[in-house]
A and B are shown apart, each in its own frame.
Chain A
Amino acid sequence: MRIDLEPRTNRSPALEIGAPIAALVAAILLGGLVVALLGKSPTRAFAVYFIEPLLAGWSLQEIAVKACPLVLIAVGLGFCFRANIWNIGAEGQFVVGGLAGGWLAIATHGGAHQTIGGWWIVPAMLLLGAVCGAVYAMIPALLKVWLGVSEILTSLMLVYVAELLLDYLVRGRLRDPKGFNFPQSVTFEDVARLPFLAQGERLHAGVVIAVLAVIAAHFVFARMRFGFAVRLTGEAPRAARFAGFNDRKLTLAVFAISGGLAGLAGICEVAGQIGQLQPVISPGYGFTAIIVAFLGRLSPVGILVAGLVLALTYIGGEAAQVALKLPNDMTRAFQGILLMCVLAADTFTRYKIRVSRTGAT
């Protein structure tokens, strides 16, 4: 048997939208198979993972809150991946952003703002988180631009370094002195928390920031010369150089954007969701966002939808842990399956697949 790929000359819009949906369906079926092999009921698991979270108001809000960091990071990664630049260290940039912004909250804790007003603290935290995320992303970016070191390996290694740094500081300098030696910081004051959108609800202002980031990124890709340069660099790097776009500056720019957005996501998570620094602040958002970016076909609007879908797997996964005793690893395995299905589906939009039984080769 031999399988041949024949490039499609015209790509139909139906296929472009249908492919990720088909991938999702395929991943759910494969995931169901894994659940069945673990000796649990796949239909029950499907209900717990994908249906029940959609039925209650609080869990819908929870999905939006979980989607917030995923979408923010993935929008940034969209810039990198579109330009064929592989920042896979968003998890580390997320941690550094959260750490830097969180440090400001701790440093001002019980401080002068009680007399001069604390309105500036949250914006300053957000800014600091974004800047530090971007600066951390500059390490692999500069090494790539100056020395040609593969950004894949360096950005990934820096994830471990950032996680260990957070762990060190939360157990040391940033630990709450009155916290009975628990490895966590003080709980942030209200002036250092992202405001909630409504009294007593879970939705915080980070959700608005994520939506704004999607709109801005969409505009940049659709209209701006920079978005055109990013797309062209990924599609045909030599043509981009011919167009006069500097690939080094572009590498730095997309790393800064994705690092900045990941850092922003980090501080949004810390200041919005957690409210303090802990030794671990991310259940792998930076890696899940890679899946979000691909499931959303690297387009900002697609990423918004994909972020909600992946957030659903987190919420559903937590529920399944309780209801079905399915380990948390199931969520991660499912996410891996989903990414593989998405990538395979992409091939079907670009090629016609021909399977022939002839041919000895």
Chain B
Amino acid sequence: MQTPEQQQQQQQHEPDPPLLRLRGIVKRFGGFTANDHIDLDLRAGEAHGLIGENGAGKSTLVKIIYGLLQPDAGEIFLSAERIRLASPREARARGIGMVFQHFSLFENLTVAENIALALPSAETLHGLRPRILALAERYGLSLDPDRPVWSLSAGERQRIEIARCLLQDPRLVILDEPTSVLTPQEATKLFETLDRLKAEGRALLYISHKLDEVRRLCERATILRLGKKVGDCDPRRESPRSLAALMVGAEVADISPSAPHAQGPDLLVVDDLSLASQDIHGVDLSGISLRLRGGEILGIAGIAGNGQSELFAALSGERLGAGAEKIRIAGAPAGARDITQRRLMGAAFIPEERNGHAAAPAFSLAENVALSRHAAAGFARNGALNFARARQTARDIIGAFDVRASGPDAAARTLSGGNLQKFLVGREILGQPKVLVVDQPTWGVDAAAAGAIRQALVDLAGRGAAVLLISQDLDELFDVCDRVCVMHAGSLSPPRDARETTRAEVGLLMTGSVIEAAHAH
């Protein structure tokens, strides 16, 4: 029997060895195999896409290439030389650089200090400043070396990551979902930088689940599914649909629109809400107004960190201080009510972060039902909780939302991201809310679960509820929303009809230029 490696070696007799060659990479975490015999070839000057769903094993694989994780089996060749990378330091010394999805930055250090930390120790801070400025000039990455990171936007932070990587003159640059925090305009600028890197003969390994980007940038792509390589292709010759099918392993189901329904009364009204942030690094909300009717889904687009979490906290009542009349739920003033009282008024909330915010990871699913439902009728009496009721509800949610869990006593942390998110969405939707405020419901969730969650939101609106969907995913917003507005620097643009507006228009709003203009009038 031949191993995949032997097959590959027999098939490929190339004149020059590729820059990076992976053969049979295996990585297990306990009983779970994150990478199962993965092969990959990457040539100098090539942009190579690594695509797959959340949980397909992309991040694990690049962490191995960057020396953060050590493979359990398999070989890594760099320019035909077999290498072992014990740490990122070694990887960097060999010309492998990485731009992280979740930035590995230090909020309270300056830009220059952040960059210095990734460079060989001989580098002095003093000598580094001119080099940073020169690099910034060359690649169009404007950076002030002395600013502390906490004062910078997501786009600026990414420039630090890129500059940090480029200062080491890497032969291979790994980029992990680099556009997830950028506006479409910023993404375009990023691609210009990446094109220049490619032209300089550097290899790019580009991880994304956004197929358009891969088709725009890459000549080759490797597709991963559930830890295995399921194919490679030239993405420019594939359609997004065929790529998606390869990625998911099945045709992707479209969201079915809800039956036509009349729009009901105003269920959530926010009137000129302004709130200073309590966090040093937070965003102040200024003059937010919105009006949401029953049966309607309103989307709020925007780059992370423009006040979305602050808005969520103000709407949910986790943060008070807005003034009673500023927020009305189902016609009644709610601004002075806390989150429990707002729930009793018919509102429900799903925050962005699953672990530790929407759910307590160590608690059972039944206890996690009690977490947001403890004040609802039937769940408590005289201060005592009805855990039997909570377990029954957990069972109902597991059944209704097809949650893969061993039962109501399973700890929340034992569920996969997608399953836990389905459970949490189900927890709120089964409570039959009149108003649902939901923040990034499909972030880090596999495609099947994401589809189910979006469908559930559409169906809820179809039953007459008002849904406010905060999301950074424009595809998602245009898929499910009736109207879309954009959040930037704590302000909200007027809503637009989703069918009459374009992504480019929304993208422009996300950079803030138009909102300011609109406010000036």
Q: Which of A's residues lie within 8 Å of B, judged by CB? A: 6, 9-10, 223-226, 228, 231-232, 235-236, 238-239, 241-244, 246, 358-361
Contact residue among A6, A225, A246, A359 (Cβ-Cβ distance under 8 Å from B380)? A225
Give CA–CA (A236, B367) in the complex, Å: 13
Given contact pairs A225-B384, A239-B360, A244-B374, a sample of 10 additional A-B residue pairs in the complex whose CB atoms are under 8 Å apart: A6-B30, A9-B413, A223-B387, A224-B384, A236-B360, A238-B357, A242-B357, A244-B339, A359-B70, A359-B86
B339 near A239 (CB under 8 angstroms)?
Answer: no
Q: Which of B's residues lie within 8 Å of A, judged by CB? A: 30, 70, 86-87, 316-318, 338-340, 343, 349, 351, 353, 355-363, 367, 370-372, 374-375, 380, 383-385, 387, 411, 413-414
A223 near B385 (CB under 8 angstroms)?
Answer: yes
Query: Which residues of chain A are within 8 angstroms of B413 by Cβ–Cβ distance?
Result: 9
Query: Which residues of chain A are within 8 angstroms of B371 by Cβ–Cβ distance?
Result: 232, 239, 242-243
Contact residue among A223, A235, A358, A359 (Cβ-Cβ distance under 8 Å from B384)? A223
B360 near A228 (CB under 8 angstroms)?
Answer: no
Give CA–CA (A223, B367) in the complex, Å: 11
* A298: min CB distance to chain B, Å: 13
* B389: min CB distance to chain A, Å: 13
A244 near B414 (CB under 8 angstroms)?
Answer: no
A360 near B87 (CB under 8 angstroms)?
Answer: yes
Query: Which residues of chain A are within 8 angstroms of B380 by Cβ–Cβ distance?
Result: 225
Give CA–CA (A243, B387) in the complex, Å: 16
* B461: min CB distance to chain A, Å: 23
B357 near A225 (CB under 8 angstroms)?
Answer: no
Give CA–CA (A172, B55) in the complex, Å: 72
* B274: min CB distance to chain A, Å: 22
Contact residue among B70, B349, B357, B374 (Cβ-Cβ distance under 8 Å from A239)? B357
A244 near B362 (CB under 8 angstroms)?
Answer: no
* A242: min CB distance to chain B, Å: 6
Give CA–CA (A358, B86) in the complex, Å: 10
Interface centre among A10, A238, A246, by most chain B C-beta atoms within 10 angstroms, is A238
B374 near A228 (CB under 8 angstroms)?
Answer: yes
Give CA–CA (A239, B87) in the complex, Å: 35
* B167: min CB distance to chain A, Å: 23
Ordered by A's residue number, 10 sampled pairs between the chains whose C-beta atoms are within 8 Å are A9-B30, A224-B384, A228-B367, A235-B360, A238-B357, A239-B356, A242-B351, A243-B339, A243-B371, A244-B375
* A16: min CB distance to chain B, Å: 13
B360 near A232 (CB under 8 angstroms)?
Answer: yes
* A74: min CB distance to chain B, Å: 22
Query: Which residues of chain B are within 8 angstroms of A223 by Cβ–Cβ distance?
Result: 384-385, 387
Interface centre among B355, B360, B361, B411, by most chain A C-beta atoms within 10 angstroms, is B360
* A244: min CB distance to chain B, Å: 3
- With contacts A9-B414, A232-B371 taken as known, whether A239 is within 8 angstroms of B30 at the C-beta atoms is no
- With contacts A228-B367, A228-B385 taken as known, whether A242 is within 8 angstroms of B349 at the C-beta atoms is yes
Interface centre among A6, A242, A246, by most chain B C-beta atoms within 10 angstroms, is A242
* A300: min CB distance to chain B, Å: 17
Give CA–CA (A236, B412) in the complex, Å: 12
Give CA–CA (A89, B87) in the complex, Å: 45
Give CA–CA (A357, B374) in the complex, Å: 49
A361 near B318 (CB under 8 angstroms)?
Answer: no
- With contacts A10-B414, A225-B385, A235-B363 taken as known, whether A244 is within 8 angstroms of B370 at the C-beta atoms is no
B87 near A225 (CB under 8 angstroms)?
Answer: no
Closest to B413 in A: A9
Closest to B32 in A: A9
* B437: min CB distance to chain A, Å: 12
Give CA–CA (A337, B316) in the complex, Å: 47
A232 near B363 (CB under 8 angstroms)?
Answer: yes
Interface centre among B318, B370, B384, by most chain A C-beta atoms within 10 angstroms, is B384
Closest to B343 in A: A244
B363 near A361 (CB under 8 angstroms)?
Answer: no
B343 near A239 (CB under 8 angstroms)?
Answer: no
Query: Which residues of chain B are within 8 angstroms of A231 by Cβ–Cβ distance?
Result: 363
Query: Which residues of chain B are within 8 angstroms of A228 by Cβ–Cβ distance?
Result: 367, 370, 374, 385
Query: Which residues of chain B are within 8 angstroms of A239 by Cβ–Cβ distance?
Result: 356-360, 371
* B290: min CB distance to chain A, Å: 22
Top 5 A-B pairs, shortest CB-CB distance: A244-B340, A236-B360, A360-B86, A236-B356, A244-B339
Give CA–CA (A225, B413) in the complex, Å: 22
Query: Which residues of chain B are within 8 angstroms of A238 by Cβ–Cβ distance?
Result: 353, 356-357
* B232: min CB distance to chain A, Å: 32
A242 near B358 (CB under 8 angstroms)?
Answer: yes
Give CA–CA (A10, B386) in the complex, Å: 25
* B30: min CB distance to chain A, Å: 7
* A181: min CB distance to chain B, Å: 53
Query: Which residues of chain A are within 8 angstroms of B357 by Cβ–Cβ distance?
Result: 236, 238-239, 242
Give CA–CA (A82, B478) in the complex, Å: 45
B383 near A224 (CB under 8 angstroms)?
Answer: yes
Give CA–CA (A238, B380) in the complex, Å: 22
Give CA–CA (A232, B349) in the complex, Å: 18
* A87: min CB distance to chain B, Å: 23
* A208: min CB distance to chain B, Å: 25
Query: Which residues of chain B are within 8 angstroms of A243 by Cβ–Cβ distance?
Result: 339, 371-372, 374
Give CA–CA (A6, B30) in the complex, Å: 8
* B129: min CB distance to chain A, Å: 30
Query: Which residues of chain A are within 8 angstroms of B318 by Cβ–Cβ distance?
Result: 241-242
Closest to A241 in B: B318
Closest to A238 in B: B357
* A164: min CB distance to chain B, Å: 38
Query: Which residues of chain A are within 8 angstroms of B339 by Cβ–Cβ distance?
Result: 241-244
- With contacts A232-B360, A235-B360, A242-B358 taken as known, whether A224 is within 8 angstroms of B86 at the C-beta atoms is no
Query: Which residues of chain B are within 8 angstroms of A241 by Cβ–Cβ distance?
Result: 318, 339
* A295: min CB distance to chain B, Å: 21
* B69: min CB distance to chain A, Å: 11
A235 near B362 (CB under 8 angstroms)?
Answer: yes
Give CA–CA (A239, B339) in the complex, Å: 12
Closest to B318 in A: A241
* A350: min CB distance to chain B, Å: 10
Give CA–CA (A9, B31) in the complex, Å: 11
Query: Which residues of chain A are within 8 angstroms of B359 by Cβ–Cβ distance?
Result: 236, 239
Interface centre among A9, A225, A231, A358, by most chain B C-beta atoms within 10 angstroms, is A225
- With contacts A242-B349, A360-B86 taken as known, whether A225 is within 8 angstroms of B383 at the C-beta atoms is yes
Contact residue among B338, B358, B383, B387 (Cβ-Cβ distance under 8 Å from A244)? B338
Give CA–CA (A10, B410) in the complex, Å: 9
Give CA–CA (A272, B232) in the complex, Å: 80
Closest to A358 in B: B70
Query: Which residues of chain A are within 8 angstroms of B367 by Cβ–Cβ distance?
Result: 228
Give CA–CA (A359, B356) in the complex, Å: 32
Query: Which residues of chain A are within 8 angstroms of B385 by Cβ–Cβ distance?
Result: 223-225, 228
Interface centre among B351, B353, B370, B374, by most chain A C-beta atoms within 10 angstroms, is B374
Give CA–CA (A226, B385) in the complex, Å: 9
- With contacts A241-B318, A242-B357, A361-B86 taken as known, whether A225 is within 8 angstroms of B362 at the C-beta atoms is no
Give CA–CA (A239, B424) in the complex, Å: 13
Give CA–CA (A361, B86) in the complex, Å: 7
